[in-house]
Structure 1
């Protein structure tokens, strides 16, 4: 095996290992979709509409704080160490939810699980962005989105299998929930073999160790050049205090934070997670039976996986902004059609199949365009010193909005996403992370904020 092939394999191992965090993120957010109907039974947790909403949404609240907290901790202690700690939290919280004897403990463990989900959603893309060469960064980071929807797809498949074959078993929902402990173990074991981010190592003064890591995944000359480039970027920040919210008072950094928050909000106002969490209930209300809805919901998961595979190819070929604009136009159209046909075909035998078809169309645009670009841009735009904090704040708003929206489809709000992306989201394709930082600095120095955003 030549050295280039060895380096490529090493890079692939890093990507697969880290994205087990995305798989856990996906399974934990998707499994509630099928578990709720069984969990709500009087002989189980006897959920009311209020407690059903609590059990579902408390994970999202935990995820918001997990993203914010883990971003800060990762800047201090390292990306790899935080992902290892998150795998342990995933494992414990998964067992806790599966064994919870009442609503109170279920809500507590779901909140802890949310902390892990939120931490993974902020940390894994940032870690991958820092490990990847710039020409592969788009595809590497969006692999995490594939693992997220792959985790949701697996959740729907296991929900359907267990829900159909064990429908009369009282504790079938516990089997659905405990499965998540398996990828948590896999995440921990695989991350033990993964090195720390060279960018984080250099930020902590460990240049020789960072160069050793870079030489494992880059050609020697390129590794040395990239090490110098990172070192120069870090030295510009040496006179500054440790990362804090007040750093974002600097105009160019404040603009980046607003872009990160805006992209996160755009992702959520499409209403995608209404389908991810309540897809089974939505299909039941449109006319499917419980078992048929569980099986049909697999189609939602499958189209998400196919769409993300297409999205991974797309981000390697096309600029970020056009992908996001096309995705938002498609999701907006699909949501409007769902609303129209739900009124026009109310009571019709065709309604369930029309809703399912349009849901599949919606997910194709969402998971193929909007989802991959969201996580990629948030991972790319912040400078090294503030990457964990900036990503954490952006993802915090993503999860908070997710929590607030719940299962409502925001048809009217989705149109806001188009205007934000067109006027404010910058293009990040084809640049190293350090080049992006220098670009944002220089654009602020020479242009007004409005001009620099539109021209990027």
Structure 2
């Protein structure tokens, strides 16, 4: 018996941390880690979707106009959106590499502090230019954070439940959308203690700066990242602690490790191993092109609709009060998309779920643009919202699993930056179409972008369900 235990221990020492993590069963411990990481994402999405729900308050206060006189008109509401997404573009494309260099945990902490503080300062601005400046800073922090959350969760969780855990994190995160919708519905029409209601909505969103000190305690660094940096001893110590927690929780011995796979486990000091140009070679070239197209187009549905719902409804002749109420009712359906993604994440290929969601957004979006009946507006608006957020629940997993650990954050940052780049302009295009051709024209634009996604992902997207990260890296 003693000799058998020695052999087992020897095998554990030799196994990579990746193989050891992938053999672990789903547990409350992993759900707890995912929830804590998702809290950082909760405030990101609160901040991102807040723009839609305070839009009428910003416009009513005279700080911004609903339409725009031209591209980059700072007095138009589109500039409020554009400045934020410009910051996210800088954060994703220029700074995402810090997560690969400095680690997931430290970047997760700093990014949350940056955007929470910037949001608090923005709440007290009185000019469009100053507001846009601080929204840009908040966008930089959120751009870095979004990439870090995706890579962090994909690397900490076992491969057989990776999609489900990522979708669960999105479910937690997306509860922020109905929250900010309800808070905005209650506060935007009011003035409290001399501050307009929309300012209070922003102040509430900055609370993450305080919570981060509680969230980060007990969060381990990604063992896969540590191993990719040659810090194997630290990685093994973290995995030892994780395994100990899992054994104590389940009361069962761990399964044997799967065979290690070479590509993601080769020494990272080998020539060119960490260069970002790898994403343009071999199997990664096709993935990079496909994901760049996907990300450029997905924002037309997610933000072209989500950030403009109250304004679109108001443009249909619906009063401000009713627009906010309808928007709140539509927003309440947001978590249903994440629930669908969580239930189906491992049951159906993720690529086909993305294709299905894009088709629903394309069709229901056009119907929403043509309808004037309140019930139909709520039904089609909810369908678009559910499909958009189902897409979010899947694609954050999908793009993070298509690149190896050594370049994951940088590569995902690059492809995701295309969504931030298009978001800068989507607001201006929506405003121009709304002014010149009305609400239906906005949804023709959104629908066209969705059909590009259907072709790009359907034709070029690889299958990923149940496959180890190391195998996908081959």
Q: Specify if TM > 0.5.
A: yes
SS at match of 1:31: helix
Residue 324 to residue 395, structure 1, CA distance change in 2 (3 Å): same
Compare 258-267 and 206-215 and name the one that shifted more: 258-267
Partner of 2:157: 132
Quick check: 1:18–1:187 contact (8 Å CA) kept in 2? no
Distance 1:385 1:180 in 2: 33
Quick check: 1:286–1:352 contact (8 Å CA) kept in 2? no
Partner of 2:421: 400
Partner of 1:304: 334
Distance 2:92 2:111 in 1: 11
Quick check: 1:18–1:124 contact (8 Å CA) kept in 2? yes
Residue 413 to residue 262, structure 1, CA distance change in 2 (3 Å): closer
Residue 11 to residue 230, structure 1, CA distance change in 2 (3 Å): farther
Partner of 1:14: 33
Structure 1 residue 418 and structure 2 residue 454: aligned? yes
Structure 1 residue 429 and structure 2 residue 473: aligned? no
Deviations 1:106-152 (A, max 9, x none): 11110011012211221101110000001111011122322342222
Distance 1:6 1:274 in 2: 39
Residue 15 to residue 88, structure 1, CA distance change in 2 (3 Å): same
Partner of 2:53: 34
Compare 278-287 and 190-199 and name the one that shifted more: 278-287
Partner of 1:143: 168
Distance 1:222 1:391 in 2: 32
SS at match of 1:431: coil
Structure 1 residue 123 and structure 2 residue 148: aligned? yes
Partner of 1:357: 379
Distance 1:41 1:234 in 2: 57
Deviations 1:306-339 (A, max 9, x none): 2211221111322212212221221221123234
Structure 1 residue 114 and structure 2 residue 139: aligned? yes
Residue 198 to residue 170, structure 1, CA distance change in 2 (3 Å): closer
Pairwise CA RMSD: 2.7
Quick check: 1:286–1:351 contact (8 Å CA) kept in 2? no
SS at match of 1:238: coil
Structure 1 residue 192 and structure 2 residue 188: aligned? no
Partner of 1:255: 286
SS at match of 1:179: helix
Equivalenced residues, count:
423
Quick check: 2:297–2:449 contact (8 Å CA) kept in 1? no
Structure 1 residue 278 and structure 2 residue 296: aligned? no
Structure 2: which 5+ runs fail to align? 1-22, 248-252, 431-441
Q: CA deviation at 1:278?
A: 1.4
Q: CA deviation at 1:243?
A: 3.0
SS at match of 1:240: coil
Partner residue of 1:265 out of 289, 296, 304:
296
Structure 1 residue 319 and structure 2 residue 337: aligned? no
Q: CA deviation at 1:187?
A: 3.2
Partner of 1:449: none
Partner residue of 1:93 out of 118, 140, 144:
118
Compare 71-80 and 177-186 and name the one that shifted more: 177-186
Distance 2:304 2:27 in 1: 38
Deviations 1:231-281 (A, max 9, x none): 872325432236334333423222232233233234234x22122211111
Which aligned pairs between 1:385-396 and structure 2 lie closer than 5 A?
385-396=406-417
Structure 1: which 5+ runs fail to align? 343-349, 439-456
Partner of 1:288: 318
Partner of 1:448: none
Distance 1:383 1:359 in 2: 38
Deviations 1:75-128 (A, max 9, x none): 100011100001110221121111223222211110011012211221101110
Distance 1:265 1:352 in 2: 31
Distance 1:378 1:148 in 2: 18
Q: CA deviation at 1:360?
A: 1.0
Name whichever structure is richer in helix by fraction. Answer: 1
